[in-house]
């Protein structure tokens, strides 16, 4: 099952609660409903909602455990944490920053092409044809 961040709010206790829209196959949604039990909620469009106090980024994946609990798949975050600890220092810090940006969907977009270079095409006054002025 996949989740997408819909919104967040502060609870009466002051905790930030993240609300995710859940998508998946009909079978997965049925399993989600059963696992949620009395806590099952839908949005105004009838899409299932998942509430958590732990942010999993703008999108993520849910797992239903063998005990019927719903948990986010945090394996990519765990891998990033392990790599950052392995390398430490500036490199580990940079790995952690880049991975967090990627996982949270905030990484800067890379240009798909090399930058365009504009060349002055005005002929030079000295007629040398080089396009350079003296």
The Cα–Cα gap between 40 and 35 comes to 8
* Average pLDDT of the residues in 39-56: 95
Residue 124 lies in a domain: no
Residue 78 lies in a domain: yes
Please check whether residues 31 and 79 belong to one and the same domain: no
Q: pLDDT value at position 123?
A: 53
Residue 5 three-state SS: strand
pLDDT category at 103 given cuts 50, 70, 90 is confident
Evaluate if residue 18 carries a pLDDT over 90: yes
Evaluate if residue 114 carries a pLDDT over 70: no
Q: What is the tally of structural domains in the chain?
A: 2
Counting other chains too, the contacts that 8-12 makes at CB distance below 8 Å and 24 or more residues apart are 8/55
Please check whether residues 54 and 85 belong to one and the same domain: no
pLDDT category at 121 given cuts 50, 70, 90 is low
Does residue 121 contact residue 131 with C-beta atoms inside 8 Å?
A: yes
Please check whether residues 44 and 94 belong to one and the same domain: no
Q: pLDDT value at position 57?
A: 86
Residue 59 lies in a domain: yes
Please check whether residues 11 and 30 belong to one and the same domain: yes
Gap between the terminal Cα atoms of the chain: 67
Q: pLDDT value at position 124?
A: 52
Please check whether residues 49 and 79 belong to one and the same domain: no
Please check whether residues 65 and 95 belong to one and the same domain: no
Please check whether residues 46 and 12 belong to one and the same domain: yes
Range of the domain at 35: 2-73
């Amino acid at each position: 099952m996949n989740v997408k961040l819909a919104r967040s709010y502060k609870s009466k206790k002051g905790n930030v609660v993240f609300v995710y829209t859940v998508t998946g196959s009909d079978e997965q949604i049925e399993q989600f409903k059963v696992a949620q039990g009395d806590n099952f909620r839908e949005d105004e469009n009838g899409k299932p909602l998942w509430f958590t106090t732990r942010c999993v980024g703008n999108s993520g994946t849910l797992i239903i455990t063998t005990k019927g609990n719903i948990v986010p798949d945090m394996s990519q975050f765990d891998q990033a944490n392990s790599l950052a600890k392995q390398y430490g220092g500036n490199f580990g810090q940079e790995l952690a920053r880049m991975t967090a940006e990627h996982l949270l969907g905030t990484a800067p977009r890379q240009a798909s092409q090399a930058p365009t270079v504009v060349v002055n095409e005005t002929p030079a006054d000295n007629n040398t044809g080089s396009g350079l002025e003296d």
